[in-house]
Amino acid sequence: MRLRFSTVALTLVAALTASTSLAQDKKAMAFVVNGASDFWKLAEAGVKKAQGELPNYDLQFKYPEQAAAAVQQRLMDDLVAAGVSAIMVSAVDPKSSTDALNRVGGQVPLFTTDSDAPDTNRIAYIGSSNVDAGKQAGEIALKALPNGGKCIGFVGLPGADNARERIEGMKATIAGSKVELIDVRGDDIDMTRAKRNVEDALAANPDIDCMVGFYSYNPPRIYEVLKESGKLGQVTVVAFDEDPITLGGVREGTIAGTVVQDPYEWGYQGMKLMAKYLEGDKSVVPENKLIIVPTKMIDKGNVDAFEAELKSRIGG
């Protein structure tokens, strides 16, 4: 009996050792976002799909405790120290984080998404053309305000490339028209501050014609404040991304339209791209180091079809 027990015990130990070794053999890749927002659920779903097709990798999805460059950098440093093999990041503030991003990129392959850091040693960027997305927002505003009007914008991180480029793109499209973007207010991805910014802007500009939400959570805060003030439907709203409140507003006509990205593909394609790169296939990186996933405009005519697609992706 003792011999049989010892044999079983040794078999179990060997199995556990082999299992641990197999887990350690897996390379880890991380997708690091810029702050806590429901917007990233689609990217997380994309990473989950990629995990099913990359069984030899451990794919991780990480949120910083706070939407601050220093906090995000500390998270990436911890990932590198833990042995992660590659990182994809939406940089909080690329311009002030060049040295820190280069430090990470000097240790593991670094890719960017959502907000690029082209002045660093990142391998490639996969995401939207934020300039083009801003131009589409301008098209929505021009169509909704044929007689012109003054707009105030709201955004999370004014210093981030995605914010700056969207604003520049919109301004380029409305240049020479009677539609103006007179102000943009930042909130550092603080939901309370985001709503207060809209309240303050409305109080200071009671006759404002248009409000633009440049980050995913900004349009819902605009919607809430306008509804509470009795001005919903009176002020034109131009949105970004696909928050349920935003899509509901588009459906009912209180939001003129929204420019949507495809974070699901960022997560899915991004993980597959990094895996191929780690395996030695450098051909996956184009010469300009940009992999653009197109944005599109959603209005009352196509919102139902778009929302059905979203539900199938997250549900899947």
How far apart CA 105 and CA 291 sit, in angstroms, is 18
pLDDT category at 100 given cuts 50, 70, 90 is very high
How far apart CA 237 and CA 170 sit, in angstroms, is 14
pLDDT category at 93 given cuts 50, 70, 90 is confident
Write out pLDDT tens, residues 111-130.
Answer: 999 989 999 999 999 999 99
288, 51, 86, 115 alpha-carbon torsion, rounded to 10° = 50
Tell me, what amino acid is at 311?
A: K
User: What is the pLDDT, as a whole number, of residue 37?
Assistant: 84
The mean pLDDT of 254-274, rounded to a whole number, is 97
Give every strand in the sheet of 110-113, ordered side by side.
57-62, 27-32, 86-89, 110-113, 125-127, 290-292
Contact assessment for residue 169 and residue 132, using Cβ atoms and an 8 Å cutoff:
yes
pLDDT category at 25 given cuts 50, 70, 90 is confident
List residues bridging with 149 in a β-sheet: 179
pLDDT at 151 over 60: yes
For 41, list phi and psi in degrees, rounded to 5: -60, -35
